[in-house]
Chains A and B, each alone.
Chain A
Amino acid sequence: AQTVTQSQPEMSVQEAETVTLSCTYDTSESNYYLFWYKQPPSRQMILVIRQEAYKQQNATENRFSVNFQKAAKSFSLKISDSQLGDTAMYFCAFMMYSGNTPLVFGKGTRLSVIA
């Protein structure tokens, strides 16, 4: 079975600064997807960024980028130029490669952006 571990329950960052959220996972699969989701107080689970395991290049989406280390099974999220609207719970998630398969989530990291 796959597991996802987020070791930072809470983090804070000053507005306009950069913050990195950590995620490690365990799987025997070689092909899979990794995700970062954001959950603001509205409870809506919003996809931030996605990485396909077969791609060596790290995914980027505007201010969000990942550091994907497949051998180390590590998948960290870097948020640059942090904004107040980035305040939310962030969840790392794993999904196997084929068909409709469930997401496996970590416990989440609560990020607070401070003005």
Chain B
Amino acid sequence: ETGVTQTPRHLVMGMTNKKSLKCEQHLGHNAMYWYKQSAKKPLELMFVYNFKEQTENNSVPSRFSPECPNSSHLFLHLHTLQPEDSALYLCASSQAGGPGQVVSYTFGSGTRLTVV
């Protein structure tokens, strides 16, 4: 257990469904991230939240909607997905003390999403 917990571990959903992925961290970190990991592609950054504020949206389609109600929880709301959205979705959190200070970066185990 790394301190970053993702649920569910596996999810199969139809293209018309609405579902949510959850990420929770108990490390006291102040930033959280969503990454998408597809086969034979680099991990793609989707969203960044610093102190609960979204600071980066990496041209992600609107069918993915993030929510960060507090610094410990991060959600990814999914609706009307396409089969090409099937992937492993990884959550991460980090804590930086300031410029030049080493960042502690921790990943969850991911949610394997299959869109049918």
Contacts and interface: CB of A to CB of B under 8 A. Distances in A.
27 contacts: A4-B42, A9-B40, A31-B100, A33-B103, A42-B109, A44-B107, A45-B90, A45-B107, A47-B105, A52-B102, A98-B100, A99-B50, A99-B96, A99-B99, A100-B31, A100-B48, A100-B94, A100-B96, A100-B103, A102-B45, A102-B56, A103-B45, A103-B105, A104-B45, A105-B42, A106-B42, A107-B42
A104 B45 CA distance: 8
Given A91-B43, A103-B45, A104-B42, 15 more contacts: A31-B100, A33-B102, A44-B107, A47-B105, A50-B102, A98-B99, A98-B100, A99-B96, A99-B99, A100-B94, A100-B95, A101-B103, A103-B43, A103-B92, A107-B40
Contact of A95 (B50, B56, B103): B103
Contact of B2 (A44, A52, A101, A104): A44
A99 B100 CA distance: 8
A94 to B, nearest CB: 11
Interface string A54-80: 000000000000000000000000000
Among A47, A50, A104, A105: residue with most chain B CB under 10 A? A105
Given A42-B109, A44-B107, A107 B100 contact: no
Q: Is the interface of A mostly helix, strand, loop or mixed?
A: loop
B66 interface: no
B108 to A, nearest CB: 8
A8 B92 CA distance: 26
Sorting the interface of chain A by its residue count into under 10, 10 to 19, 20 to 34 or 35 or more gives 20 to 34
A107 B41 contact: yes
A97 B99 contact: yes
A52 B103 CA distance: 11
